């Protein structure tokens, strides 16, 4: 059936183009083919993938790295159900996504039509809005509202979902109802905080002896303002997975190697667009001792989760920090210089000692390369523009400390392993001039390994490095310690490089540490490329030692769980 220039699908495609969308991450299907073809007609690039989950993951990575809206197009029924993990990950990460899908024609719904499901009920709890658009005249206003919600206009940013029956996509939308106001891009709102709250925050921060700043999602794009605050206040600084690379590792406020002590000793903690979730011990006094909180965010959910702030500033992070500095003027902060210098000195000493150990750490008793030796070789080739994607459970624990780059992505607060390859593909297509490294465990790689086909077809210039220990290693370690046996957590030492070569990708297998440097250099010269590195099963990560795998009752890790129990008993 011929699609006209004013059919519903054409209106959707024109809307996307008008809003600056230059690519869709998608997997084809009959129910979405009208959108697919009109998007192609409008010159929107279609990154066609092998599984819908990967399409949504790619859209999320694109959004997080560029700051733009990410768009995924998935077909009805199993297409949407395949995408749900990706949507849930974006929901927890508060990433602005538009997910589009199709449905059977209106006359066939509820009669056993092909792939007939009530999609919106499936995704309502993990989206900012989920709607079926049946009336062609409402397509534009529904798209306009959905994108506003995705970008956090009036609430938390996050994924939105719209689907359309195929007869709606083919139906005419009267030109008179295609109002320019719905096509027109809307500027991001800058939210200014209350001046009263700003003054209260300045009084608290500038009187603090041991201030600590922790950044998250809401601090992206505010790097210069965050650095200005740190410089003026002389505060300690901790990043999180949501904001790695925001502040340079060599900035004097960075004390990542002293994370636990900084959290325990701080008297005022500033959260910048960051929830106090399991990664920050829910803000518990058992971990943060007697700290008072200043919460800053453009999203209410990041202002009052778990711990209320003495001051809570609802505002765009960059704007809020500028106002804080303006109100503070030349006021001298009360920061304890000896405290912060002590943290910095111990941070530098620990970091230097760790870096030196990475290059010299021996192989395991099984002959496998230590993960830190692998990460050290990668780190040596990460320059000023590189993007690093870390994926895995056990490997993520090593890489959080052993790998750093100007821009970084990881499985996020949802713990959604398997994102590495899709994230890396999207990153390398968004920034083809920048080196993109995906460092992933072999278990996590398996979730979306087939997307190496997507990387080859779309000439995505990334390097994938698989740390292959033939196991779900955190679970193996936990089973040995807790249960005395290993059951169902070992994998085979599969040759992932051979798989890559089968799809036309440069692939090498490395079994000797001395061969790492050459293999990485060859991979960079022959992108896309994959290196399969056999690593030891003897190495035990900090997460494995922390008790993360056995899921303690009160906190995410055993040390915090013990502290929580002691604090509750003493209260």
User: Known catalytic residue: 52?
Assistant: no
Burial 343-373 (b: 16+ CB within 10 A, else e): bbeebbeebeeeeeebeebebbeeebbbbbb
Q: How far apart are CA 534 and CA 493, in angstroms?
A: 8
Helices (H), 431-557: 442-447, 452-457, 473-478, 496-502, 516-525, 542-546
Q: Which two tokens stand for residue 39?
A: 């998007």
Q: Which one, of 212, 189, 217, 215, lies nearest residue 63 by Cα?
A: 217
Per-residue confidence (pLDDT) for residue 230, from 0 to 100: 97
Are 281 and 261 in contact by the 8 Å Cβ rule? The answer is: no
- For position 551, what pLDDT does the model report? 87
Say if residue 545's pLDDT is above 80.
Answer: no
- Strand arrangement, sheet containing 436-441: 407-409, 387-391, 436-441, 462-468, 529-534, 506-510
Contacts of 543 (CB under 8 A, 6+ apart): 393, 394, 396, 397, 474, 549, 557
Supply the pLDDT for residue 536.
95
Whether the pLDDT of residue 409 is over 90: the answer is yes
Flag whether pLDDT at 1 surpasses 80. Answer: no
Q: 174: how many CB neighbours lie within 10 A of its CB? A: 9
Phi–psi pair at 146, nearest 5 degrees: -60, -45
pLDDT in tens, 251-270: 999 999 999 999 999 999 99
Half-sphere exposure of 17 (CA within 13 A, CB side): 16
Nearest to 390 by CA among 441, 351, 432: 441
The pLDDT value recorded for residue 207 is 97
Query: Is the separation of the CB atoms in 278 and 263 below 8 Å?
Result: no
Min mean pLDDT across 41-45, 146-150, 412-416 is at 412-416
CB contact at 8 A, 442 and 464: no
Helices 394-402 and 371-379, axial angle in degrees (round to 10): 40
Which pLDDT belongs to residue 266? 97
What is the overall mean pLDDT for the chain?
Answer: 95
Q: What is the pLDDT of residue 358?
A: 87
Q: Of residues 477 and 212, which shows the higher confidence score? A: 212
| Two tokens, residue 327 | 């109100």
Nearest to 456 by CA among 522, 506, 510, 519: 506
pLDDT average, residue stretch 484-505: 96
Residue 109 in this model has a pLDDT that exceeds 90: no
Q: Could you tell me if 60 and 85 are in contact, meaning their C-beta atoms sit under 8 angstroms apart?
A: no
CB 216 within 8 Å of CB 273: yes
The catalytically annotated residue of 64, 312, 323, 475 is 475
Burial of 35 (0-12, 13-18, 19+ CB in 10 A): buried
- Report d(CA 77, CA 477) in Å as an integer: 39
Cα dihedral 432, 226, 68, 165, rounded to 10, equals 130
Mean pLDDT over 190-218 rounds to 96
SS3 516: helix
pLDDT tens readout for residues 316-362: 999 999 999 999 999 999 999 999 999 999 999 999 998 888 888 99
């Amino acid at each position: 059936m011929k699609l006209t220039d004013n059919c519903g699908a054409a209106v959707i495609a024109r809307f996307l183009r008008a809003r600056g969308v230059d690519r869709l991450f998608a997997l084809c299907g009959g129910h979405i083919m009208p959108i697919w073809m009109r998007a192609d007609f409008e010159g929107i690039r279609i990154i066609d993938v092998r599984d819908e989950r990967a399409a949504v993951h790619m859209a999320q990575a694109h959004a997080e790295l560029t700051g733009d809206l990410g768009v995924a197009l998935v077909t009805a029924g199993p297409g949407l159900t395949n995408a749900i993990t990706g949507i849930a990950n974006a929901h927890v990460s508060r990433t602005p996504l538009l997910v589009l899908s199709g449905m059977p024609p209106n006359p066939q719904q509820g009669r056993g039509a092909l792939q007939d499901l009530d999609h919106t009920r499936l995704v309502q709890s993990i989206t900012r809005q989920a709607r079926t658009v049946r009336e062609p005249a409402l397509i534009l206003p529904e798209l306009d509202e959905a994108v506003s919600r995705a970008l956090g206009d009036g609430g938390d940013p996050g994924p939105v979902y719209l689907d359309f029956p195929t007869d709606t996509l083919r139906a005419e939308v009267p030109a008179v109802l295609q109002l320019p106001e719905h096509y027109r891009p809307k500027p991001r709102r800058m939210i200014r905080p209350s001046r009263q709250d700003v003054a209260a925050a300045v009084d608290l921060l500038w009187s603090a002896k041991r201030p600590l700043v922790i950044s998250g999602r809401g601090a992206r794009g505010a790097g210069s303002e965050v650095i200005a605050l740190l410089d003026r206040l002389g505060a300690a600084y901790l990043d999180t997975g949501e904001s790695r690379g925001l502040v340079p590792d060599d900035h004097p406020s960075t004390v990542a190697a002293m994370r636990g002590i900084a959290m325990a000793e701080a008297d005022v903690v500033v959260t910048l667009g960051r929830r106090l979730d399991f990664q920050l011990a829910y803000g518990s006094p058992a971990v943060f001792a007697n700290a008072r909180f200043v919460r800053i965010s453009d999203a209410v959910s990041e202002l009052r989760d778990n711990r209320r702030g003495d001051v809570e500033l609802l505002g765009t992070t960059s704007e809020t920090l500028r106002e804080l500095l303006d109100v503070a003027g030349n006021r001298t902060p009360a920061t304890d210089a000896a405290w912060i210098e002590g943290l910095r000195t111990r941070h530098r000493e620990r970091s230097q000692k760790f870096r030196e150990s990475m290059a010299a750490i021996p192989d395991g008793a099984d002959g496998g390369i230590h993960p830190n030796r692998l990460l050290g070789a990668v780190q040596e080739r990460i320059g000023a523009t590189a993007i690093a994607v870390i994926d895995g459970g056990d490997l993520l624990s090593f890489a959080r400390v052993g790998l750093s780059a100007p821009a970084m992505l990881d499985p996020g607060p949802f713990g959604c392993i398997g994102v590495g390859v899709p994230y890396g593909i999207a990153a390398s297509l968004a920034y083809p001039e920048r080196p993109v490294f995906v460092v992933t465990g072999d278990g996590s790689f398996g979730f979306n390994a087939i997307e190496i086909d997507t990387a080859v077809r779309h000439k995505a210039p990334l390097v994938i490095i698989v740390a292959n220990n033939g196991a779900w290693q955190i679970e193996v370690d936990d089973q040995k310690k807790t249960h005395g046996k290993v059951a169902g957590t070992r994998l085979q030492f599969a040759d992932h490089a051979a798989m890559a070569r089968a799809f036309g990708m440069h692939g090498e297998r490395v079994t000797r540490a001395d061969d790492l440097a050459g293999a990485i250099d060859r991979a960079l010269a022959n992108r896309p490329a994959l290196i399969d590195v056999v690593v030891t099963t003897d190495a035990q990560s900090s997460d494995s030692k922390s008790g993360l795998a056995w899921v303690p009752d009160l906190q995410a890790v055993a040390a915090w769980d013990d502290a929580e129990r002691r604090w509750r008993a003493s209260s």
